[in-house]
Structure 1
Amino acid sequence: YPAKNQQPCSTAGFSSRIRTESCFLCQCSGLRSAVPLAVVEEILLNLPAHQVVRVCRLVCREWKELVDRAAHWRERCRREGIQPQDPSRAPDGWCQFYFLTKKRRNLLKNPRAEDKLQGWKIVQNGGDRWVAEENRNPFPDETVTKCFVTSYGLCLKQQLIDLKKEGYNEAFMDQLQPHIKISDWYAPRFDCGCQYEISVELLDRRKKPICTFQPEKVFFQQWNDEPWCEVSRITLTVQLFPYNQTKSRCYCLCICSALFQMTHVFKDYGPGVQFIRFTHGGVDTQYWAGWYGIRVTNSSVEICPAEER
């Protein structure tokens, strides 16, 4: 199993690492007959996981059996506070679950518009173009404060994820076939119709699609109010002036703003996946100048254990 955020190393660095691990292996071999297995297991639990797999497991048959036991990885997970999403459902393989969980992270750069459009390739930039701005309405996660906004011409942006550079080499992906979970949050304005679309492709080394998730485009009508989604209501005070400008009246305007989450999990996608191409965006269907189109934020692509649903 590759170490988290493992980077390619030079020949000299690789040789040095081999010498270090060989020396460690010799030391371990000298201990195997003198130390009870219960003590050995406790020592293994206090060593880095990747060293246990790469080195300690090779010392002897007894140590290999210790490392290969589900109990070893279950205990390691317990000590490090790693738990399945559903505690009542044990993972099929605790070792695989441990490494995938430790390495799990969002592979998309700048998913919350915190650095404006940095990290994204602009595929379509219609109307008044993409823009990053503060969220108009509260997001479920209070740390998400910004979003990307589309305009009256089609706006699409994209990221290409190189799995090898992210620490997931071809053998790892082919043999383990970990689940690939994508998530994207999008929201319309209540006063303007708009369209949302997304496409996520798993690509081979030549960047040819192996598997694609591309649901139908989502359309929102002007003055939309979706009863099946969670709706947040914000009351604003609007001051209206009559023609004579001598009196004013205050009205309460109830604005319904909906947040939607698009999710998908790739499973059993087959061998050869080396890249992931994530594309999303949309357009304002009223053709209004400015930024009245779909809003997107908090997008994610994660390599996760098979137990994730």
Structure 2
Amino acid sequence: YPAKNQQPCSTAGFSSRIRTESCFLCQCSGLRSAVPLAVVEEILLNLPAHQVVRVCRLVCREWKELVDSAAHWRERCRREGIQPQDPSRAPDGWCQFYFLTKKRRNLLKNPRAEDKLQGWKIVQNGGDRWVAEENRNPFPHSPVTKCFVTSYGLCLKQQLIDLKKEGYNEAFMDQLQPHIKISDWYAPRFDCGCQYEISVELLDRRKKPICTFQPEKVFFQQWNDEPWCEMTHVFKDYGPGVQFIRFTHGGVDTQYWAGWYGIRVTNSSVEICPAEER
């Protein structure tokens, strides 16, 4: 326990003290066996993962071997309830799997029209322009209640994701080649034909395309059941240099009706996920 009136150590001070004292422990052969490695590993498992990698791993050879072991990260995943989608298929690298799963999130802003068109760049705004409104047909996932709606002229909107700003630097992307999972939901009106389109590009530092997903346009006929459909794609083995992701989608009604009778889109997502994900 700290002495009375003693201020608690900062994280930086704590990390420095761990490194200094542990180096001394590892260098002194007489003390090396004083603390069993099993005890050291238990201590490491109770420290923040980023400190274990950035600080503890550099202390000595024994600690490096513990931190680099699959057993350490497998146990950390077990304790934190992080599991592969397919339990029968172990990840190729438990450390990579741990960090990618912990960092995983939707990189698109305002994907469900909750803040109207905020966060999106309007590329095409034809007809009566983009609007956000309540879903006409219940969405398969109950929390999603709003969508973006297109008009009788082509409507396209876009987001540019800067991977470095989101915590995925170039070395990380180049070396690990994590999967990039795309998902987008779209639906027509029952009484009007319409068209849906999407384009997702992986870009280099100059914003030049490295890899592109651009499927054929989807058409709906008039008098349909207003089905919600999901468009998905996973980028794999895309090579080095990816620093940006450009996500563009939208559509138009095909009967040229004034108002908002075109395709509806919502719940879009772009996620960096472990390669084990399918």
TM-score by length of 1: 0.80
Question: Which stretch of the first structure deviates more once superposed, 119-128 or 132-141?
Answer: 132-141
Deviation at 1:68, TM superposition (A): 1.1
Which 10-residue stretch deviates more, 98-107 or 11-20?
Answer: 11-20
- In the aligned structure 1, how far is the partner of 2:74 from the partner of 2:207? 37
Rate the CA distance shift 1:68–1:12 in 2: closer, same or farther, 3 A. closer
- Distance between the aligned counterparts of 1:155 and 1:192, measured in 2? 16
Shift of the 170–79 alpha-carbon distance from structure 1 to 2, 3 Å rule, reads same
Give the drift of 1:224.
Answer: 2.7
Residue pair 1:25, 1:55 contacting (<8 A) in 2 also: no
Q: Is the contact between residue 25 and residue 59 of structure 1 (CA under 8 Å) also seen in structure 2?
A: no
In the alignment, the residues of structure 1 paired with residue 12 and residue 132 of structure 2 have an alpha-carbon distance, to the nearest angstrom, of 45
* Contact in 1 for aligned 2:189/2:226 (Cα 8 Å): no
- Are 2:23 and 2:59, in contact at CA under 8 Å, matched by a contact in 1? no
Secondary structure at 1:19's aligned position in 2? Answer: helix
User: Residue 138 of structure 2 aligns to a residue in which SS?
Assistant: coil
* 1:88 to partner: Cα distance: 1.4
Gaps of 5+ in 2: none
CA pair 229-102 structure 1, distance change in 2 beyond 3 A:
closer
Give the stretch that moved more between structures: 64-73 or 151-160: 64-73
Runs of 4+ in 1 over 6 A off after TM superposition: 1-31, 226-230
Distance 1:40 1:188, change over 3 A: same
| Partners of 1:2 and 1:167 within 8 A in 2 | no
Question: How far 1:227 moved relative to its partner?
Answer: 9.9
Offset, 1:9: 20
Q: Deviations over 1:121-142 (max 9, x none)?
A: 0000000000000111111211
Q: Partners of 2:254 and 2:209 in 1: how far apart?
A: 30
**1:230-256 CA distance string (max 9 Å, x none):** 9xxxxxxxxxxxxxxxxxxxxxxxxxx
Native 8 Å contact 1:186 1:297 kept in 2? yes
Deviations 1:73-93 (A, max 9, x none): 011001111111111111111
1:69–1:123 distance in 2 versus 1, CA, 3 Å: same
Q: Give percent identity, aligned residues only.
A: 99
Number of matched residues?
278
2:19 and 2:56 in contact (8 A); partners too: no
Q: Whole-Å Cα distance in 2 between the matches of residues 4 and 215 of structure 1?
A: 67
Consecutive unaligned residues in structure 1, runs of 5 or more: 231-261
Q: Is the 8 A contact 1:25 1:56 kept in 2?
A: no
Per the TM alignment, residue 55 of structure 1 is displaced from its structure 2 partner at its CA by: 1.2
Residue 161 of structure 1 and its aligned partner are, at CA, apart by 0.2
Q: Aligned equivalents of 1:24 and 1:290: distance in 2? A: 74
Q: CA deviation at 1:34?
A: 2.8
Q: Report the RMSD for the aligned CA atoms in angstroms.
A: 6.2
Is the Cα contact below 8 Å between 1:2 and 1:168 reproduced in 2? no
Q: Deviations over 1:35-64 (max 9, x none)?
A: 110000000000011111111111122111
- What TM-score results when the alignment is normalised by the length of structure 2? 0.88
TM-superposed deviation, 1:15: 13
- Is the partner of 1:38 in helix, strand or coil? helix
Q: Which shows bigger deviation, 56-65 or 163-172?
A: 56-65
The CA distance in 2 between the partners of 1:209 and 1:21, in whole Å, is 49
Do the aligned partners of residues 26 and 276 (structure 1) sit closer, same or farther apart at CA in structure 2, a change above 3 Å counting?
farther
